[in-house]
Amino acid sequence: MLSMTPTEKKTIDATRALAMDAVQAAKSGHPGTPVALSPITYLLYNERMKYDPNRPNWQGRDRFVLSIGHASTLIYATLHVAGVKSLDADGNPVDRPAVSMDDLKSFRQLGSRCAGHPEYGRVDGVEMTTGPLGAGVATSVGFAMANNWLASRYNKPGYDLFASNVYALCGDGCSMEGISSEAASLAGHLKLSNLCWIYDLNRITIEGDTELAFTESVPDRFKAYGWKVVEVDDVNDLPALRRAFDEFEATTDRPTLIVVKSKIAYGCPTKEGKESAHGAPLGDEEIAGAKKFYGMDPDAKFACDDEVYRQYADNLGVRGPKLSAEWDAKFASYRAEYPELAKELDAIFSGALPEGWDAGLVPFPADEKGMASRASSGKVLNQLAEGLPWLVGGSADLAPSNNTWLKSETAGEFGPGKAGRNIHFGVRENAMGAITNGLVLSGLRGYCATFFVFADYLRPMIRLAALMEIPTTFVFTHDSIGVGEDGPTHQPVEHLASLRAIPNLLVFRPADANEVSESYKAAMKATKNPSAIVLTRQNLPTLDREKFAPAGNVAKGAYVLADADGDPDVILIGTGSEVGLCLKAADALAAEGIKARVVSAPCWELFAKQSPEYRESVLPKRIKARVGVELGVELGWGKIVGDSGRFLGMTGFGDSAPAAKLMEHFGFTVERVVALAKETIAESE
């Protein structure tokens, strides 16, 4: 080992041994990278980061993101030896380690804190669920942006409350994934000097040497993005690593990429497909040999010398609490001098909404012509922004179409040297989703937007938001074949079904402007659910709420919008633009003496959470004649309309023509709904 003191070597090697033992006990995992990169986490946590192990949620902390999540034992072992504490449900520290030795022993087992990849909310000290390669580094851009935004609004002379750095550890796989390129490009443009990616250049992937598929110069690529690039020839050269981190901290005009060369531990995959330490346990014999090489007892498992714990306790354990106590004292003085701003920060830190946050939401008057729900969405966002100062977001180069621009003179834009509330994400949907998750994980209420058909590009980040239980808001416009002339490539048909398949995601498809407003209200109140708000390009009539049920029922997911006297003969159920079609069909049926109930179902997930009694009041089991109408595929509707019901939707892709022509061509007409209603009535008798 190069340039390590005996204590440093012992501490780093202990982390390596714990990582190897955890993988071996699980008979599953990736030991190579944790063994190779332990010097990096040692330096970051023990010497560099502003981090209090007793308070891993301290708001003034630096953040570390393990983008190479398969190397999870690296963060688990580091949190263990660093003495990081657990938090209770209220975020207060408790006398239990975030990762105990027993937790390491149960790595990858059912119910273990130490899952195969780091999971946000399962282990205190894990800043995010990294999941797919590249997601971590992309989200780290959101963390860095959030710190700069918070600093811009809340830092005052003498009160640098927000001056944190963000570190992300990545590898060749992260670098190959397109999301990292999207995020790095934007980070370079924004000159995020508080962002440091540490790139493990080990030249190994699952199939073999990276030369098989990856021969570009990553340092040159990042220089082209506008990053500072520092190269370290050996990960075990601690003085060289320290100098690299010094260069990052001295750089004030761009993000930094530190390229660190390492060797994947103990072999590599062969062209014949033989597994190695990269993706499989080492085996007892090889672990014993490694421990002997490190000067450790080769037969001891899950052993850690007291000197290792003392090394962290004497450094991080002293420095971290001192820094957080100083920050607390500063914030106490800040509270006395800037009470209103401190009150906002309390809400941000706790995930609460400020008092009167929805006071600016004004009901829309009835209007037969109405407006596109993408247009009413823009009005609602601006109304919300007045009462929710930390509502921050933007579109993937589509703000004029998505109507996501916050128009207040004080909103401003986020750019190099500017930290306004409007973000230009560029045409980078996947990174946009990750970055917005980073904003939300930092306490901001982040939103992002694009056309609905492009939900495919950011679906992995929607899934991660749902998995992490964070309230990211995803806004989608141009929601159906109503897009018209753009044709089937831009006409989403399967997307509603695919998003509804994601657990914990609230999918809203509002029927008019007031349902749009109520959808946003429900999304803002959801603290553990991300939301997708799906909006039209075409105009929708604003319903007369004196005649129809109140739009506030959106909070229940589905509700009786218009009813007949007595038991209905048929129930017509629609979402979004098709609710208006159901109302017209109900009138046509009434003219023939057929009683129809119209149900608006903007959010299936919220409806599923209602009591059985409420759900029965909306969709009584005794009424089997039902028609579902939606400009999408049928998947999922069978549970709503039942065996006797009918569904009017899409069975294939759309076509290129004016929207009205497409509606007629695909059968979205009053006549077709009426015919289906009569069919289901006949079958259910």
**Domain 6-324 = CATH 3.90.1150.180:** no
Q: Strand 422-424 and strand 506-508: pairing? A: unpaired
Q: Looking at the domain covering 556-684, what would its CATH class be?
A: alpha beta
Could you tell me what percent of the chain has a pLDDT over 90? 90
pLDDT of residue 541: 97
Mean pLDDT of the residues in the chain: 94
Q: How far apart are CA 245 and CA 675, in angstroms?
A: 71
pLDDT of residue 202: 79
Task: Report which of 265, 280, 276 is spatially closest to residue 36, judged by C-alpha positions.
Answer: 265
Task: Name the amino acid, one letter, at 134.
Answer: G
Tens digit of each residue's pLDDT (9 = 90 or more) over 120-175: 999 999 999 998 999 999 999 999 999 999 999 999 999 999 999 999 999 999 99
Going through 179-254 in order, the beta strands assigned E by DSSP cover: 195-201, 204-205, 208-209, 228-232
Please state the rounded mean pLDDT for residues 510-538: 98
**Which residues, in sequence order, are CB contacts of 381 under 8 Å at separation 6+?**
391, 403, 404, 406, 447, 520
For tokens 């089997």, the residue is 624
pLDDT of residue 669: 98
429 assigned to active site: yes
pTM of the predicted protein model: 0.96
Q: Fold identical between 6-324 and 367-542?
A: yes
Q: Strand 195-201 and strand 166-171: pairing? A: parallel
User: Helix axis angle, 429-441 relative to 178-190, nearest 10°?
Assistant: 70
Tens digit of each residue's pLDDT (9 = 90 or more) over 23-55: 999 999 988 899 999 999 999 999 999 999 999
Q: How far apart are CA 610 and CA 486, in angstroms?
A: 39
Query: What 8-state DSSP symbol labels residue 44?
Result: I
| pLDDT greater than 50 at residue 270 | no
Name the band, by pLDDT with cuts 50, 70 and 90, for residue 269: very low
CATH number of the domain at 367-542, please?
3.40.50.970
With vertex at residue 43, the alpha carbon angle to CA 40 and CA 49, rounded to the nearest 5 degrees, is 110
Catalytic residue (one of 119, 182, 429, 605)? 429
Contact (CB, 8 A) for 577 and 543: no
pLDDT of residue 267: 33
| pLDDT greater than 90 at residue 246 | yes
Tens digit of each residue's pLDDT (9 = 90 or more) over 167-190: 999 999 999 999 999 999 999 999
Phi then psi for residue 61, to 5 deg, are -75, 155
Could you tell me what percent of the chain has a pLDDT over 70? 97
The full set of domain ranges for the chain reads 6-324, 367-542, 556-684
